[in-house]
Amino acid sequence: MKQVRLGIIGAGRIGNVHSQSVANDPAAVAVAITDINRDSAEQLASMHGISRVADTSRELLDSPDIDAVLICSSTNTHADLIVQAAQAGKHIFCEKPIDYDLARIDRSLDAVERARVKLQLGFNRRFDSNFARVKKAIETGEIGRPRLLHIISRDPGPPPISYVKSSGGMFFDMTIHDFDMARFLMGEEVEEIYTAAGVMVDPAIGNVGDVDTAMITLRFASGAIGIIDNCREAAYGYDQRVEVLGSKGSIHTGNRYPNQAIVSTGASVRRDLPLNFFMDRYAESFALEMRSFIRAIREDTPTLVTGIDGRIPVAMGIAALRSHQEGKPVKLSTISSTTATRS
């Protein structure tokens, strides 16, 4: 079968990650890239062998030699670009979140449905081999009926305040991955969320209306309980762990390290710090998610992370934010066409 011809919108950090994945996949080719910063687009084009730099996303979407687009631009552009790409008949890979407004998300998903194009959301952690093993243990009944889920997700350091101001806040730029992972691993929906959160890392984060530390309790439809443990800073590095306790046993997965060596001396037993950030920790999963999207196009099969999978974590983020603001549990059934609004 012929290569899938891709256009890339956005030449920032995640655009670089996906450009590299495409460059390493013989089933696809990136034929064009665009960014509001043309120098960034030209740099990635040179690095990854992309033949053309488009002046605008519209030029890219109107190109007949492009089968699908990768939307790697800022979040505030995602919803409109999905609509435009769908109307142009392009298949779509879009980074999370689609938007902070559920009504705008719904309009995007409606455009995709009407155009009958494929849409995959960038929840790459679903493709991580460690988390896939946890998912298998739950699906097969290996650990029995799940009772407790604990997700630990802590960054090595807080992002710049300029990013926090525009990211939608921690529940949408960070915890959203954990919301997706919770429902993916457990195979069921969350009915209620309660958030305890505060500012313990950097007062400047609080000054722009966000939090940097949170403990979020999830109540699943089955009655199982989940905990998401988030912090913008962990002094020892990128902390990504999961544990599930079931009626027949438990399964947990720890951090990934640059090596497996453990040094034992008369003074201490120690090992090197874990892989330091998401581009190192999840390198494999980024490549696999892109391969999955390309395969869905080539084989005309459904994508593995759908538009609804993109909508529900945003609704969970809105519920978590509201719970923090109101100091009480929030049922997901009360979240409809709502926009996330920080204090």
Q: What is the CATH number of the domain that holds 61?
A: 3.40.50.720
Residue 247 and residue 162 share a domain: yes
Domain edge (last residue) among 55, 88, 117: 117
pLDDT, the chain, mean:
95
Domain edge (last residue) among 96, 117, 138: 117
Confidence of residue 169 (pLDDT cuts 50, 70, 90): very high
Q: DSSP state, 277? A: S
For residue 289, pLDDT beyond 60? yes
Residue 103 and residue 50 share a domain: yes
Residue 107 and residue 10 share a domain: yes
pLDDT in tens, 243-277: 999 999 999 999 999 999 999 999 999 999 998 88
pLDDT at 130: 95
CB 75 within 8 A of CB 97: yes
pLDDT at 185: 98
Residue 48 and residue 152 share a domain: no
Domain edge (last residue) among 68, 87, 117: 117
Residue 136 and residue 199 share a domain: yes
Quote the CA–CA distance of 342 and 61 in Å, as a whole number.
34
Tokens found for residue 36? 């509001």
pLDDT at 166: 87
Percent of the chain with pLDDT over 70: 98
Q: DSSP state, 95? A: P
Domain count, the chain: 2
Percent of the chain with pLDDT over 90: 93
pLDDT in tens, 29-69: 999 999 999 999 999 999 999 999 999 999 999 999 999 99
Confidence of residue 18 (pLDDT cuts 50, 70, 90): very high
For residue 342, pLDDT beyond 90? no
Residue 210 and residue 323 share a domain: yes
Residue 161 and residue 244 share a domain: yes
Output the domain CATH number for residue 272: 3.30.360.10
Q: Which of 74-88, 106-120, 327-341 has the lowest mean pLDDT?
A: 327-341
User: Which residues form the domain of 272?
Assistant: 128-276+311-334
Residue 175 and residue 324 share a domain: yes
Q: Which of 169-178, 212-221, 278-287, 307-316 has the lowest mean pLDDT?
A: 278-287
Q: Is residue 112 part of a domain?
A: yes
Residue 201 and residue 330 share a domain: yes
Residue 265 and residue 206 share a domain: yes
For residue 157, pLDDT beyond 60? yes
Residue 169 and residue 39 share a domain: no
CB 226 within 8 A of CB 182: yes
**107 in the Ramachandran plot: left (φ > 0), alpha (ψ -120 to 50) or beta?**
alpha
Residue type, 325: Q
Among the listed residues 24, 30, 27, 22, the one whose alpha carbon sits nearest the alpha carbon of residue 50: 30
Q: Is residue 89 part of a domain?
A: yes
Q: Is residue 292 part of a domain?
A: no
Q: Is residue 340 part of a domain?
A: no
Sign of the CA dihedral running 203, 206, 212, 218: positive
Quote the CA–CA distance of 80 and 86 in Å, as a whole number.
10
Q: Is residue 12 part of a domain?
A: yes
Among the listed residues 50, 53, 49, 68, the one whose alpha carbon sits nearest the alpha carbon of residue 4: 68
Q: Which positions ≥6 away from 299 have C-beta within 8 Å?
A: none
Among the listed residues 69, 14, 242, the one whose alpha carbon sits nearest the alpha carbon of residue 146: 242
Residue 133 and residue 113 share a domain: no
User: Count of CB atoms within 10 A of residue 111's CB?
Assistant: 21
Q: Is residue 190 part of a domain?
A: yes
For residue 328, pLDDT beyond 90? yes
Q: Quick one: average pLDDT of 228-234?
A: 97
Confidence of residue 336 (pLDDT cuts 50, 70, 90): confident
